[in-house]
């Protein structure tokens, strides 16, 4: 001991003087706690004298992340992308872009304007997706706020309100009001949990009163929250007519939509890259684009003792082969099964286990931002029709035109109905259904584009869907390597359908490769 106090002693003294907050601050300042921003970040050990060659199948977010991190550590990558463009499902369409659906090729005819784009895959980033956000920061992808929930948007159900759209705020307010009133009156204090003392019970009743905006008698008689029918500025506000509770329950929005914004990945706020989600792809390509070979369709994966050999048809149709120390493969599991391969039987069984969701999106260029005339700025309207949702852009406010998402269908039955249609039929369907949400819809939109993910070339589906049982059995198998072949992509994460899951799948594989390399060095 040299008379100096240890860091631990110092923190103890700080804590005595200033409490937990002071300890945290002091510990961070002393470098004992990492800054939050580094949490979860992958830092590969520099390759040094032992650079590896990794062949990456698929230039989606998982593949691009892997290539970027491997390059940064000094390794060599070859990225084989079957499509004519990189990004995978991170796919933004602008004027002239091709939608490469099997049997339903379309060309985007939006006007050439930076606000007019269509994110056919991921379109929003939650603040909790820290690794993706960190890449945005690191690679200079500008972000802006995305609107996921809008109380001025519409809910429309053929079974309620005469099929007419009503404002989300009306639906939400009346439904909350009735539920709160019924509960406040039907609750018997003696049946409440023993955890609650009399004060808590009173607070529970008060909670219901505030929840539903009830009056002093615990009755719901409408609420300002629904907006005024008229007045409220220079004359007293007149409340809107209250809907019937049964009718509110007939419309199924209480089951999912009312709680949508509470869910982990959908809670406000969310973000989007300025100019389109594929700005992220562009940013990665700026770093590793020279390693990406487009129109490279893999035919065969052959595991060897000290590497992997991948054969593919290049853009000219010539079959070529690449041999690497490792393979990171983001092909959809089912498509891997169609290759020639020597993958082990257990792995093959696991590849066959998950299915892919049948999501469909339809986008329209609108000649007039008609939703703004309806007091809607961003967000989503909901309908019980197949189109399910209509999204309004959060950017380009008060501009001349905008791209509205005319359908986002994530129920498989609905998605399959739309996917089976020709693009023209999908447009017509989305227009007809959209008319119920926005009377006059058809006259406002001038051009439509659809993407049925189940028909998208080289993908044939959207997010991976696991049954709980199959996931428990097979996902661990697919998360482990088969020889030197690693399946990656959101498909092997517990967060399918999100770019954050894809990034972490790449991290998972890269960390395992690093472990093997370390062990190999130690054994050498």
Segment 52 to 71, residues that bind a second copy, using CB under 8 A: none
| H helix runs in 399-440, sequence order | 412-420, 423-437
Residue 477 or 479 with smaller CB distance to a second copy: 479
Please list every residue from 397 through 426 that binds a second copy, using CB under 8 A: 397-398
192 part of the interface to a second copy, by CB under 8 A: yes
Residues forming beta bridges with residue 402, ordered by sequence position: 366
Q: Where are the beta strands (DSSP E) in 29-103?
A: 53-57, 76-80, 92-93, 98-99
Whole-number minimum distance, CB 107 to a second copy, in Å? 29
- Could you give the CA distance from residue 289 to residue 269 in angstroms, rounded to a whole number? 32
Contact 209, 177 (CB under 8 A): no
Q: Least distance to a second copy from the beta carbon of 91, Å?
A: 22
Which residue's CB is nearer to a second copy, number 48 or number 468?
A: 468
| Least distance CB 84 / a second copy (angstroms) | 30
Can residue 466 be called a binding residue for a second copy (CB under 8 A)? no
User: Which x/- pattern over 504-523 shows residues binding a second copy (rule: CB under 8 A)?
Assistant: xx-xx---------------
Q: Which is nearer to a second copy, 84 or 185 (CB)?
A: 185
The single residue among 50, 228, 334, 348 that binds a second copy, judged by CB under 8 A, is: 228
Per CB under 8 A, the list member of 24, 76, 299, 367 interacting with a second copy is 24
Q: Which listed residue (7, 45, 105, 142) binds a second copy by CB under 8 A?
A: 142
Nearer to a second copy, 314 or 374 (CB): 374
Closest approach, Cβ 12 to a second copy, in A, equals 16
Region of 62-70, 114-122, 200-208, 275-283 interacting with a second copy (CB under 8 A): 200-208
Examine residue 4 and tell whether it contacts a second copy (CB under 8 A). Answer: no
Residue reference for tokens 């684009």: 289
C-beta of 182: minimal distance to a second copy in Å?
A: 6
- Does 259 help bind a second copy (rule: CB under 8 A)? yes
- CB 217 to a second copy: min, Å: 14
Q: What secondary structure does DSSP assign to 372-406, as a single string?
A: HHTT--SEEEEESSTT-EEEE-SSSTT-S-EEEEE
The DSSP string of 83-120 is SSSSBTT--EE-TT-EE-BTT--EE----S-TT--EES
> Binders of a second copy: how many residues, by CB under 8 A?
114
Burial class (CB in 10 A: 0-12, 13-18, 19+), 124: buried
Interface with a second copy (CB under 8 A), residue from 439, 519, 520, 521: 439
**In this complex, which beta carbon is closest to a second copy, that of residue 42 or of residue 99?**
42
Q: Which is nearer to a second copy, 208 or 366 (CB)?
A: 208
Please state, in angstroms and rounded to a whole number, the distance separating the CA atoms of residues 80 and 55.
8
Contact set for a second copy, span 203-222 (CB under 8 A): 203-204, 206-208, 210-211, 213
Instruction: Give phi and psi for 406, each to the nearest 5.
Output: -85, -10
Q: In the window 144-183, what residues touch a second copy (CB under 8 A)?
A: 144-147, 149-152, 162-164, 169, 172-173, 176, 179, 181-183
**343-402 positions binding a second copy, by CB under 8 A:** 372-379, 394-395, 397-398
DSSP strands (E only) in 212-296: 228-230, 238-239, 270-273, 292-293
Least CB distance to a second copy at residue 5 (A): 21
Compute the least distance from the CB of residue 165 to a second copy, in Å: 9
Applying CB under 8 A, which part among 43-51, 63-71, 141-149, 290-298 lies near a second copy?
Answer: 141-149
| CA 230 to mean position of chain CA atoms | 39
- SS3 category, 38: helix
* Binding window for a second copy (CB under 8 A); candidates: 319-327, 410-418, 448-456, 496-504: 496-504
Q: Which long-range contacts (CB under 8 A, 24 or more apart) does 465-472 make?
A: 465/354, 465/355, 465/356, 465/357, 465/496, 466/353, 466/354, 466/496, 470/353, 470/354, 471/354
User: Is 37 among the residues that bind a second copy (CB under 8 A)?
Assistant: yes
Rounded to a whole number of angstroms, the minimum distance from the CB of residue 368 to a second copy is 9
Q: Is 469 in the site for a second copy (CB under 8 A)?
A: no
3-state SS track over 462-505: CCEECCHHHHHHHHHHHHCCECCEEECCHHHCCCCCCHHHHHHH
Q: Are 201 and 180 in contact (CB under 8 A)?
A: no
How many beta carbons lie within 10 A of that of residue 45, not counting itself? 12
- DSSP annotation of 289: G
Query: Which secondary-structure segment (H or E) carries 365?
Result: strand 360-366
Instruction: Choose the binding region for a second copy from 139-147, 276-284, 405-413, 419-427 (rule: CB under 8 A).
Output: 139-147
Smallest gap from Cβ 432 to a second copy, in A, equals 10
């Amino acid at each position: 001991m040299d008379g100096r106090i240890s860091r631990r002693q110092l923190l103890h003294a700080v804590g005595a003087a200033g409490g937990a907050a002071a300890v945290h601050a002091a510990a961070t300042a002393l470098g004992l706690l990492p800054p939050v921003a580094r949490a979860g970040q992958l830092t590969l050990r520099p390759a040094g004298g032992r650079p590896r060659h990794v062949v990456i199948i698929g230039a989606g977010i998982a593949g691009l992340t892997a290539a970027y991190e491997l390059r940064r550590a000094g390794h060599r990558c070859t990225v084989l992308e079957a499509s004519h463009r990189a990004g995978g499902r991170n796919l933004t369409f602008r004027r002239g872009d091709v939608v490469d659906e099997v049997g339903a090729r379309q060309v985007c005819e939006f006007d050439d304007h930076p606000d007019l784009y269509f994110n056919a895959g991921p379109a929003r980033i939650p603040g909790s997706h820290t690794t993706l956000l960190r890449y945005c920061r690191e690679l200079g992808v500008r972000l802006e706020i995305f609107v996921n929930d809008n109380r001025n948007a519409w809910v429309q159900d053929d079974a309620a309100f005469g099929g007419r759209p009503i404002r989300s705020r009306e639906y939400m307010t009346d439904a909350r009001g009735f539920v709160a009133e019924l509960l406040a009156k039907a609750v018997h204090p003696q049946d409440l949990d023993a955890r609650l003392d009399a004060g808590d019970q009173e607070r529970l009743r008060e909670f219901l009163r505030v929840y539903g905006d009830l009056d002093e008698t615990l009755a719901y008689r409408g609420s300002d929250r629904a907006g005024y029918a008229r007045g409220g500025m220079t004359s007293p506000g007149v409340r809107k007519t209250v809907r019937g509770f049964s009718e509110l329950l007939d419309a199924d929005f209480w089951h999912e939509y009312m709680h949508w914004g509470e869910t982990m990945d959908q809670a406000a706020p969310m973000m989007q890259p300025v100019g389109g989600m594929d700005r992220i792809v562009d940013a990665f390509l700026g770093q590793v684009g020279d390693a990406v070979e487009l129109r490279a369709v893999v035919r065969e994966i052959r595991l060897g003792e000290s590497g992997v050999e991948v054969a593919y048809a290049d853009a000219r149709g010539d079959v070529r082969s690449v041999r690497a120390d490792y393979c990171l493969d983001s092909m959809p599991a089912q498509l891997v099964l169609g290759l020639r391969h020597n993958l082990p039987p257990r792995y093959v069984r696991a590849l066959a286990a998950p299915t892919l969701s049948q999501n469909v999106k339809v986008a329209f260029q609108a000649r007039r931002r008609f939703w703004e005339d309806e007091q809607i700025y961003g967000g989503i309207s909901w309908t019980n029709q197949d189109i399910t949702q209509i999204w309004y852009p959060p950017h380009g406010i008060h501009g001349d035109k905008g791209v509205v998402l005319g359908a986002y269908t994530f129920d498989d039955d609905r998605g399959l109905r739309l996917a089976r249609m020709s693009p023209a039929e999908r447009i017509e369907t989305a227009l007809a259904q959209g008319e119920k949400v926005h009377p006059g819809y058809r006259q406002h939109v001038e051009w439509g584009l659809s993407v049925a993910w189940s028909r998208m070339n080289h993908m044939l589906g959207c997010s991976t869907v696991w049954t709980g049982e199959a996931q428990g059995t097979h996902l661990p198998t697919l998360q482990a390597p088969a020889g030197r072949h690693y399946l990656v992509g959101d498909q092997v994460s517990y967060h399918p359908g999100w770019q954050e899951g894809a990034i972490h799948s790449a991290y998972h594989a890269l960390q395992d490769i690093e472990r093997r390399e370390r062990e190999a060095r130690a054994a050498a």
